[in-house]
A and B are shown apart, each in its own frame.
Chain A
Amino acid sequence: MVTLTKEQWTRLYKEVSGFAQASTFTKDKKQQWTSRDRAQEAVQKACLRLLETKPADVKTYEDARDYLFGAIRSSLYNAREERVTRKAVEKEVMAEEVHLGRWTTPSAETMQLEKGEQGRSHRRAARIVELTREELKGDAIALGTMDCIAEDIDKPADQAKKLGCDVREVYKARFRRKTALDRAIARYEQERHAPESEETA
Protein backbone atom coordinates (compact mmCIF):
# COMPACT_ATOMS: atom_id res chain seq x y z
CA MET A 1 0.00 0.00 0.00
CA VAL A 2 1.25 3.44 -0.88
CA THR A 3 2.47 5.59 2.01
CA LEU A 4 1.73 9.29 1.72
CA THR A 5 2.02 12.22 4.08
CA LYS A 6 -1.02 13.89 5.62
CA GLU A 7 -0.63 16.78 3.20
CA GLN A 8 -0.51 14.45 0.21
CA TRP A 9 -3.63 12.53 1.26
CA THR A 10 -5.47 15.79 1.84
CA ARG A 11 -4.39 17.21 -1.48
CA LEU A 12 -5.34 14.00 -3.28
CA TYR A 13 -8.74 13.82 -1.60
CA LYS A 14 -9.47 17.42 -2.49
CA GLU A 15 -8.44 16.92 -6.11
CA VAL A 16 -10.61 13.87 -6.61
CA SER A 17 -13.53 15.52 -4.82
CA GLY A 18 -13.23 18.51 -7.13
CA PHE A 19 -13.04 16.24 -10.13
CA ALA A 20 -16.11 14.24 -9.10
CA GLN A 21 -18.15 17.36 -8.39
CA ALA A 22 -17.19 18.93 -11.71
CA SER A 23 -18.01 15.69 -13.53
CA THR A 24 -21.52 15.51 -12.10
CA PHE A 25 -22.27 19.22 -12.15
CA THR A 26 -25.64 20.11 -13.56
CA LYS A 27 -27.35 23.44 -14.13
CA ASP A 28 -30.66 21.89 -13.17
CA LYS A 29 -31.24 23.15 -9.61
CA LYS A 30 -33.52 20.20 -8.82
CA GLN A 31 -30.77 17.75 -9.69
CA GLN A 32 -27.89 19.51 -7.98
CA TRP A 33 -28.18 17.84 -4.60
CA THR A 34 -28.59 14.42 -6.18
CA SER A 35 -25.55 14.87 -8.36
CA ARG A 36 -23.64 16.24 -5.42
CA ASP A 37 -24.39 13.16 -3.33
CA ARG A 38 -23.56 10.91 -6.25
CA ALA A 39 -20.16 12.58 -6.62
CA GLN A 40 -19.46 12.35 -2.91
CA GLU A 41 -20.46 8.71 -2.84
CA ALA A 42 -18.21 7.95 -5.81
CA VAL A 43 -15.26 9.60 -4.04
CA GLN A 44 -15.83 7.69 -0.83
CA LYS A 45 -16.33 4.39 -2.64
CA ALA A 46 -13.11 4.88 -4.58
CA CYS A 47 -11.15 5.74 -1.44
CA LEU A 48 -12.56 2.80 0.48
CA ARG A 49 -11.73 0.51 -2.40
CA LEU A 50 -8.16 1.75 -2.37
CA LEU A 51 -7.93 1.13 1.37
CA GLU A 52 -9.54 -2.27 1.21
CA THR A 53 -7.87 -3.74 -1.84
CA LYS A 54 -4.44 -2.20 -1.17
CA PRO A 55 -3.37 -2.75 -4.79
CA ALA A 56 0.27 -3.77 -4.98
CA ASP A 57 0.93 -1.68 -8.07
CA VAL A 58 -0.11 1.55 -6.37
CA LYS A 59 3.25 2.63 -5.06
CA THR A 60 3.49 6.38 -5.60
CA TYR A 61 1.34 9.48 -5.25
CA GLU A 62 0.77 9.46 -9.01
CA ASP A 63 -0.35 5.82 -8.93
CA ALA A 64 -2.82 6.57 -6.14
CA ARG A 65 -4.08 9.57 -8.08
CA ASP A 66 -4.58 7.52 -11.25
CA TYR A 67 -6.27 4.80 -9.23
CA LEU A 68 -8.76 7.16 -7.61
CA PHE A 69 -9.54 9.09 -10.78
CA GLY A 70 -10.11 5.80 -12.62
CA ALA A 71 -12.33 4.39 -9.90
CA ILE A 72 -14.39 7.58 -9.73
CA ARG A 73 -14.82 7.72 -13.50
CA SER A 74 -15.97 4.13 -13.49
CA SER A 75 -18.39 4.81 -10.66
CA LEU A 76 -19.84 7.88 -12.34
CA TYR A 77 -20.11 6.17 -15.73
CA ASN A 78 -23.70 5.08 -15.15
CA ALA A 79 -24.89 8.61 -14.48
CA ARG A 80 -23.31 9.86 -17.68
CA GLU A 81 -24.74 6.94 -19.59
CA GLU A 82 -28.27 7.86 -18.50
CA ARG A 83 -27.86 11.30 -20.06
CA VAL A 84 -26.51 9.81 -23.29
CA THR A 85 -29.40 7.35 -23.45
CA ARG A 86 -31.88 10.16 -23.00
CA LYS A 87 -30.28 12.03 -25.90
CA ALA A 88 -30.41 8.88 -28.04
CA VAL A 89 -34.10 8.46 -27.28
CA GLU A 90 -34.74 12.06 -28.28
CA LYS A 91 -32.87 11.41 -31.53
CA GLU A 92 -35.00 8.32 -32.19
CA VAL A 93 -38.16 10.29 -31.60
CA MET A 94 -36.94 12.87 -34.11
CA ALA A 95 -36.17 10.12 -36.63
CA GLU A 96 -39.64 8.72 -36.13
CA GLU A 97 -41.16 12.13 -36.74
CA VAL A 98 -39.27 12.31 -39.99
CA HIS A 99 -40.36 8.79 -40.91
CA LEU A 100 -43.99 9.60 -40.25
CA GLY A 101 -43.75 12.54 -42.59
CA ARG A 102 -44.28 15.19 -39.97
CA TRP A 103 -41.11 16.78 -41.21
CA THR A 104 -40.40 17.72 -44.77
CA THR A 105 -39.47 14.73 -46.89
CA PRO A 106 -36.30 15.37 -48.89
CA SER A 107 -36.39 15.25 -52.67
CA ALA A 108 -35.19 12.18 -54.57
CA GLU A 109 -32.02 14.02 -55.56
CA THR A 110 -31.28 14.95 -51.95
CA MET A 111 -31.92 11.39 -50.86
CA GLN A 112 -29.53 10.13 -53.50
CA LEU A 113 -26.86 12.57 -52.35
CA GLU A 114 -27.42 11.53 -48.74
CA LYS A 115 -27.07 7.89 -49.72
CA GLY A 116 -23.76 8.63 -51.43
CA GLU A 117 -22.59 10.55 -48.38
CA GLN A 118 -23.56 7.67 -46.13
CA GLY A 119 -21.57 5.27 -48.30
CA ARG A 120 -18.49 7.48 -48.12
CA SER A 121 -18.91 7.87 -44.39
CA HIS A 122 -19.23 4.12 -43.94
CA ARG A 123 -16.08 3.43 -45.99
CA ARG A 124 -14.16 6.09 -44.08
CA ALA A 125 -15.23 4.64 -40.74
CA ALA A 126 -14.40 1.08 -41.76
CA ARG A 127 -10.93 2.10 -42.94
CA ILE A 128 -10.15 4.17 -39.84
CA VAL A 129 -11.23 1.35 -37.55
CA GLU A 130 -9.06 -1.04 -39.54
CA LEU A 131 -6.06 1.31 -39.35
CA THR A 132 -6.57 1.84 -35.63
CA ARG A 133 -6.43 -1.90 -35.11
CA GLU A 134 -3.23 -2.02 -37.12
CA GLU A 135 -1.73 0.71 -34.97
CA LEU A 136 -2.65 -1.25 -31.84
CA LYS A 137 -1.15 -4.51 -33.05
CA GLY A 138 0.03 -6.53 -30.04
CA ASP A 139 -1.84 -4.43 -27.49
CA ALA A 140 -4.30 -7.06 -26.30
CA ILE A 141 -6.24 -4.86 -23.89
CA ALA A 142 -6.66 -1.90 -26.24
CA LEU A 143 -7.74 -4.23 -29.06
CA GLY A 144 -9.99 -6.01 -26.57
CA THR A 145 -11.75 -2.74 -25.75
CA MET A 146 -12.42 -2.26 -29.46
CA ASP A 147 -13.93 -5.73 -29.66
CA CYS A 148 -16.06 -4.90 -26.66
CA ILE A 149 -17.29 -1.71 -28.31
CA ALA A 150 -18.15 -3.69 -31.44
CA GLU A 151 -20.20 -6.00 -29.24
CA ASP A 152 -21.97 -3.06 -27.63
CA ILE A 153 -20.10 -3.34 -24.33
CA ASP A 154 -19.11 0.24 -23.53
CA LYS A 155 -18.99 0.30 -19.75
CA PRO A 156 -15.33 0.24 -18.64
CA ALA A 157 -16.09 -2.03 -15.69
CA ASP A 158 -17.81 -4.55 -17.99
CA GLN A 159 -14.96 -4.37 -20.47
CA ALA A 160 -12.48 -5.02 -17.65
CA LYS A 161 -14.50 -8.02 -16.55
CA LYS A 162 -14.64 -9.42 -20.05
CA LEU A 163 -10.94 -8.84 -20.63
CA GLY A 164 -9.96 -10.16 -17.19
CA CYS A 165 -8.13 -7.04 -16.09
CA ASP A 166 -8.54 -4.09 -13.75
CA VAL A 167 -10.66 -1.16 -14.86
CA ARG A 168 -7.58 1.06 -14.61
CA GLU A 169 -5.96 -1.02 -17.34
CA VAL A 170 -8.97 -0.27 -19.51
CA TYR A 171 -8.60 3.47 -18.96
CA LYS A 172 -4.87 3.29 -19.67
CA ALA A 173 -5.60 1.31 -22.84
CA ARG A 174 -8.07 3.98 -23.89
CA PHE A 175 -5.30 6.57 -23.86
CA ARG A 176 -3.17 4.34 -26.07
CA ARG A 177 -6.17 3.75 -28.30
CA LYS A 178 -6.71 7.49 -28.62
CA THR A 179 -3.14 7.96 -29.85
CA ALA A 180 -3.64 5.08 -32.27
CA LEU A 181 -6.89 6.62 -33.50
CA ASP A 182 -5.19 9.96 -34.15
CA ARG A 183 -2.46 8.20 -36.11
CA ALA A 184 -5.05 6.16 -38.02
CA ILE A 185 -6.98 9.29 -38.99
CA ALA A 186 -3.74 10.93 -40.18
CA ARG A 187 -2.92 7.84 -42.23
CA TYR A 188 -6.40 7.79 -43.70
CA GLU A 189 -6.13 11.43 -44.72
CA GLN A 190 -2.78 10.70 -46.36
CA GLU A 191 -4.27 7.77 -48.26
CA ARG A 192 -7.21 9.89 -49.36
CA HIS A 193 -5.04 12.67 -50.70
CA ALA A 194 -2.34 10.43 -52.14
CA PRO A 195 -4.04 9.69 -55.50
CA GLU A 196 -4.80 13.39 -56.00
CA SER A 197 -1.18 14.40 -55.43
CA GLU A 198 0.01 11.63 -57.72
CA GLU A 199 -2.34 12.85 -60.44
CA THR A 200 -1.15 16.42 -60.11
CA ALA A 201 2.48 15.24 -60.16
Chain B
Amino acid sequence: MARRSPAEILAVLEDQAREDEAVEAQMNALAAMSDAQLDDHLRGLGLDPAQLEREALAMFVDAPGESRGSLPSAVQAVPQEAPRAFAAEPRRRRRPLTVALWLAAGAAAATGGGALVYSLTHPSPEQPAPPAPSPPPTEAPSVPLPPAPVAMTPADERIAAAAAFAQGKPRECLRLLDHAKEVDPAGDAAPDIRALRDRANRAIRDKPPVP
Protein backbone atom coordinates (compact mmCIF):
# COMPACT_ATOMS: atom_id res chain seq x y z
CA MET B 1 0.00 0.00 0.00
CA ALA B 2 1.27 3.47 -0.90
CA ARG B 3 2.67 5.47 1.98
CA ARG B 4 2.30 9.18 1.75
CA SER B 5 5.03 11.66 2.53
CA PRO B 6 4.57 14.00 5.52
CA ALA B 7 3.87 16.87 3.13
CA GLU B 8 1.10 14.88 1.49
CA ILE B 9 -0.33 13.84 4.85
CA LEU B 10 -0.30 17.43 6.04
CA ALA B 11 -1.99 18.57 2.84
CA VAL B 12 -4.80 16.04 3.37
CA LEU B 13 -5.13 17.02 7.04
CA GLU B 14 -5.39 20.69 6.08
CA ASP B 15 -7.86 19.96 3.28
CA GLN B 16 -10.08 17.94 5.57
CA ALA B 17 -9.84 20.57 8.31
CA ARG B 18 -10.97 23.23 5.82
CA GLU B 19 -13.80 21.01 4.68
CA ASP B 20 -14.89 20.34 8.27
CA GLU B 21 -14.81 24.05 9.08
CA ALA B 22 -16.96 24.81 6.08
CA VAL B 23 -19.44 22.08 7.02
CA GLU B 24 -19.55 23.32 10.58
CA ALA B 25 -20.20 26.85 9.34
CA GLN B 26 -23.01 25.57 7.13
CA MET B 27 -24.54 23.53 9.94
CA ASN B 28 -24.39 26.51 12.29
CA ALA B 29 -25.86 28.85 9.71
CA LEU B 30 -28.73 26.43 9.02
CA ALA B 31 -29.41 25.95 12.72
CA ALA B 32 -29.46 29.70 13.28
CA MET B 33 -32.11 30.30 10.61
CA SER B 34 -35.72 30.82 11.57
CA ASP B 35 -38.27 28.53 9.89
CA ALA B 36 -39.16 31.26 7.39
CA GLN B 37 -35.50 31.95 6.60
CA LEU B 38 -34.87 28.26 6.12
CA ASP B 39 -37.79 28.02 3.69
CA ASP B 40 -36.43 30.99 1.73
CA HIS B 41 -33.01 29.40 1.68
CA LEU B 42 -34.46 26.14 0.36
CA ARG B 43 -36.38 27.96 -2.36
CA GLY B 44 -33.13 29.65 -3.33
CA LEU B 45 -31.63 26.20 -3.80
CA GLY B 46 -34.55 25.18 -6.00
CA LEU B 47 -36.32 23.08 -3.35
CA ASP B 48 -39.98 23.26 -2.44
CA PRO B 49 -40.34 23.52 1.36
CA ALA B 50 -43.93 22.22 1.29
CA GLN B 51 -42.85 19.14 -0.66
CA LEU B 52 -40.01 18.53 1.80
CA GLU B 53 -42.46 18.84 4.65
CA ARG B 54 -44.71 16.20 3.10
CA GLU B 55 -41.73 13.91 2.56
CA ALA B 56 -40.54 14.34 6.14
CA LEU B 57 -43.96 13.54 7.55
CA ALA B 58 -44.38 10.56 5.23
CA MET B 59 -40.98 9.22 6.18
CA PHE B 60 -40.79 9.86 9.90
CA VAL B 61 -44.30 10.40 11.21
CA ASP B 62 -47.03 8.83 9.08
CA ALA B 63 -45.53 5.46 8.21
CA PRO B 64 -41.86 5.25 8.99
CA GLY B 65 -41.82 1.49 8.37
CA GLU B 66 -43.37 1.69 4.93
CA SER B 67 -41.10 4.44 3.72
CA ARG B 68 -38.23 1.99 3.33
CA GLY B 69 -39.38 1.16 -0.13
CA SER B 70 -39.37 4.76 -1.16
CA LEU B 71 -35.71 5.12 -2.07
CA PRO B 72 -36.24 4.94 -5.83
CA SER B 73 -38.58 7.90 -5.50
CA ALA B 74 -35.62 10.22 -5.13
CA VAL B 75 -36.48 11.79 -8.43
CA GLN B 76 -40.14 12.09 -7.49
CA ALA B 77 -39.02 14.04 -4.51
CA VAL B 78 -37.99 16.84 -6.82
CA PRO B 79 -40.53 19.64 -6.46
CA GLN B 80 -43.57 19.44 -8.72
CA GLU B 81 -43.21 22.96 -9.99
CA ALA B 82 -40.10 23.84 -11.92
CA PRO B 83 -37.70 25.34 -9.42
CA ARG B 84 -36.31 28.72 -10.25
CA ALA B 85 -32.71 27.66 -9.85
CA PHE B 86 -33.14 24.97 -12.51
CA ALA B 87 -35.02 27.00 -15.09
CA ALA B 88 -32.81 25.80 -17.93
CA GLU B 89 -34.56 22.42 -17.99
CA PRO B 90 -37.77 23.37 -19.87
CA ARG B 91 -35.69 24.85 -22.66
CA ARG B 92 -33.62 21.69 -22.91
CA ARG B 93 -36.72 19.53 -23.14
CA ARG B 94 -38.11 21.67 -25.93
CA ARG B 95 -34.99 21.46 -27.99
CA PRO B 96 -35.95 18.30 -29.94
CA LEU B 97 -39.23 19.93 -30.97
CA THR B 98 -37.46 23.10 -32.05
CA VAL B 99 -34.95 21.13 -34.09
CA ALA B 100 -37.73 19.09 -35.69
CA LEU B 101 -39.62 22.21 -36.71
CA TRP B 102 -36.54 23.75 -38.23
CA LEU B 103 -35.73 20.53 -40.09
CA ALA B 104 -39.26 20.32 -41.39
CA ALA B 105 -39.15 23.93 -42.50
CA GLY B 106 -35.76 23.39 -44.11
CA ALA B 107 -36.97 20.28 -45.94
CA ALA B 108 -40.04 22.11 -47.17
CA ALA B 109 -37.94 25.01 -48.39
CA ALA B 110 -35.52 22.66 -50.15
CA THR B 111 -38.33 20.77 -51.85
CA GLY B 112 -40.03 23.98 -52.91
CA GLY B 113 -36.74 25.48 -54.08
CA GLY B 114 -35.97 22.35 -56.11
CA ALA B 115 -39.38 22.54 -57.75
CA LEU B 116 -38.84 26.19 -58.58
CA VAL B 117 -35.45 25.48 -60.18
CA TYR B 118 -36.99 22.64 -62.17
CA SER B 119 -39.85 24.80 -63.39
CA LEU B 120 -37.45 27.53 -64.49
CA THR B 121 -35.13 25.16 -66.34
CA HIS B 122 -38.03 23.17 -67.88
CA PRO B 123 -40.61 25.79 -68.89
CA SER B 124 -44.00 24.20 -69.64
CA PRO B 125 -46.85 26.66 -70.04
CA GLU B 126 -49.43 23.84 -69.91
CA GLN B 127 -48.39 22.82 -66.54
CA PRO B 128 -49.74 24.76 -63.65
CA ALA B 129 -47.24 26.83 -61.82
CA PRO B 130 -45.43 24.92 -59.12
CA PRO B 131 -46.64 25.60 -55.69
CA ALA B 132 -44.87 28.39 -54.01
CA PRO B 133 -42.28 27.13 -51.56
CA SER B 134 -43.48 27.24 -48.07
CA PRO B 135 -41.64 30.06 -46.40
CA PRO B 136 -39.29 29.15 -43.63
CA PRO B 137 -40.52 30.17 -40.25
CA THR B 138 -39.75 33.79 -39.61
CA GLU B 139 -38.94 33.10 -36.00
CA ALA B 140 -38.10 30.12 -33.89
CA PRO B 141 -40.87 28.64 -31.75
CA SER B 142 -41.13 30.61 -28.60
CA VAL B 143 -38.67 29.47 -25.98
CA PRO B 144 -39.43 30.55 -22.47
CA LEU B 145 -36.79 32.86 -21.19
CA PRO B 146 -35.21 31.85 -17.92
CA PRO B 147 -36.69 33.82 -15.10
CA ALA B 148 -34.66 36.37 -13.26
CA PRO B 149 -32.05 34.82 -10.98
CA VAL B 150 -33.21 34.09 -7.49
CA ALA B 151 -32.02 36.70 -5.02
CA MET B 152 -29.89 35.06 -2.37
CA THR B 153 -30.20 36.18 1.19
CA PRO B 154 -27.00 37.15 3.02
CA ALA B 155 -27.29 33.90 4.99
CA ASP B 156 -27.45 31.91 1.73
CA GLU B 157 -24.46 33.76 0.38
CA ARG B 158 -22.47 33.01 3.51
CA ILE B 159 -23.32 29.34 3.23
CA ALA B 160 -22.33 29.41 -0.43
CA ALA B 161 -19.12 31.20 0.58
CA ALA B 162 -18.27 28.42 3.01
CA ALA B 163 -18.97 25.86 0.32
CA ALA B 164 -16.82 27.77 -2.18
CA PHE B 165 -13.98 27.87 0.32
CA ALA B 166 -14.29 24.15 0.93
CA GLN B 167 -14.01 23.63 -2.82
CA GLY B 168 -10.73 25.55 -2.84
CA LYS B 169 -12.15 28.80 -4.23
CA PRO B 170 -11.12 31.46 -1.69
CA ARG B 171 -11.67 34.36 -4.12
CA GLU B 172 -15.22 33.25 -4.83
CA CYS B 173 -15.69 32.84 -1.06
CA LEU B 174 -14.55 36.43 -0.44
CA ARG B 175 -16.70 37.77 -3.25
CA LEU B 176 -19.79 36.15 -1.73
CA LEU B 177 -18.88 37.34 1.76
CA ASP B 178 -18.39 40.89 0.49
CA HIS B 179 -21.73 40.81 -1.26
CA ALA B 180 -23.46 39.52 1.86
CA LYS B 181 -21.75 42.23 3.88
CA GLU B 182 -23.18 44.94 1.65
CA VAL B 183 -26.71 43.78 2.49
CA ASP B 184 -26.12 42.70 6.07
CA PRO B 185 -23.02 44.38 7.55
CA ALA B 186 -23.82 43.17 11.08
CA GLY B 187 -23.71 39.51 10.01
CA ASP B 188 -20.16 39.95 8.78
CA ALA B 189 -18.98 40.49 12.33
CA ALA B 190 -20.05 36.99 13.44
CA PRO B 191 -17.03 34.99 14.66
CA ASP B 192 -17.66 32.17 12.16
CA ILE B 193 -17.79 34.58 9.27
CA ARG B 194 -14.75 36.52 10.42
CA ALA B 195 -12.83 33.25 10.74
CA LEU B 196 -13.95 32.18 7.28
CA ARG B 197 -12.88 35.52 5.83
CA ASP B 198 -9.47 35.25 7.52
CA ARG B 199 -8.96 31.76 6.19
CA ALA B 200 -9.91 32.78 2.67
CA ASN B 201 -7.52 35.74 2.81
CA ARG B 202 -4.80 33.47 4.13
CA ALA B 203 -5.46 30.93 1.39
CA ILE B 204 -5.12 33.61 -1.29
CA ARG B 205 -1.95 34.95 0.32
CA ASP B 206 -0.37 31.51 0.70
CA LYS B 207 -1.31 30.36 -2.78
CA PRO B 208 1.86 29.89 -4.82
CA PRO B 209 2.11 32.23 -7.84
CA VAL B 210 1.11 30.72 -11.16
CA PRO B 211 4.26 30.00 -13.20
User: Which residues of chain B are near A177, meaning CB under 8 Å?
Assistant: 13, 16-17
Query: A125, B6: Cβ atoms under 8 Å?
Result: yes
Residues 25-56 (chain B) with a chain A CB within 8 angstroms: 26-27, 30-31, 35, 38-39, 41-42, 45-47, 49, 52-53, 55-56
Within the complex, the shortest CB–CB distance from B53 to chain A, in Å, comes to 5
Query: A18, B38: Cβ atoms under 8 Å?
Result: yes
How extensive is the interface on chain A, given as a class?
35 or more
A15-B35 Cα distance, complex, nearest whole Å:
10
User: Which residues of chain A are near B35, meaning CB under 8 Å?
Assistant: 11
Check: A168 CB closer than 8 A to any chain B CB: no
Query: A45, B71: Cβ atoms under 8 Å?
Result: yes
User: Which residues of chain B are near A163, meaning CB under 8 Å?
Assistant: none
Q: Which of A15, A41, A48, A128 contacts B10 (CB 8 A)?
A: A128
Check: A146 CB closer than 8 A to any chain B CB: yes
A18-B45 Cα distance, complex, nearest whole Å:
7
1/0 per residue A160-188: CB within 8 Å of B?
Answer: 00000000000100110110011000000
Query: B78, A149: Cβ atoms under 8 Å?
Result: no
Check: B2 CB closer than 8 A to any chain A CB: yes
Query: B61, A22: Cβ atoms under 8 Å?
Result: no
Main SS of chain B's interface residues?
helix
Check: A86 CB closer than 8 A to any chain B CB: no
Check: A29 CB closer than 8 A to any chain B CB: yes
Binding site for B on A (CB under 8 A): 4, 6, 9-15, 17-19, 21-23, 25, 29, 32-33, 36-37, 40-41, 44-45, 47-48, 51-52, 65, 69, 73, 83, 87, 98, 103-104, 121-122, 125-126, 128-129, 132, 146, 149-152, 154, 171, 174-175, 177-178, 181-182
A25-B52 Cα distance, complex, nearest whole Å:
18
Check: B116 CB closer than 8 A to any chain A CB: no
Q: Which of B5, B9, B56, B160 contacts A22 (CB 8 A)?
A: B160
1/0 per residue B1-12: CB within 8 Å of A?
Answer: 111111101111
Stretch at the interface among B62-70, B94-102, B135-143, B183-191: B62-70
Query: B71, A41: Cβ atoms under 8 Å?
Result: yes
User: Which residues of chain B are near A14, meaning CB under 8 Å?
Assistant: 38-39, 42, 49, 52-53, 56
User: Which residues of chain B are near A87, meaning CB under 8 Å?
Assistant: 168
A43-B90 Cα distance, complex, nearest whole Å:
25
A48-B70 Cα distance, complex, nearest whole Å:
9
Query: A69, B23: Cβ atoms under 8 Å?
Result: yes
Check: B77 CB closer than 8 A to any chain A CB: yes
Check: B88 CB closer than 8 A to any chain A CB: yes
List 22 A–B pairs whose Cβ atoms lie within 8 Å, in order of A's numbering: A11-B38, A13-B60, A14-B49, A14-B53, A15-B30, A18-B38, A18-B41, A18-B42, A18-B45, A25-B160, A32-B86, A44-B74, A45-B71, A48-B59, A48-B70, A65-B31, A125-B11, A129-B9, A151-B2, A154-B12, A175-B20, A177-B17
A177-B89 Cα distance, complex, nearest whole Å:
43
A182-B13 Cα distance, complex, nearest whole Å:
11
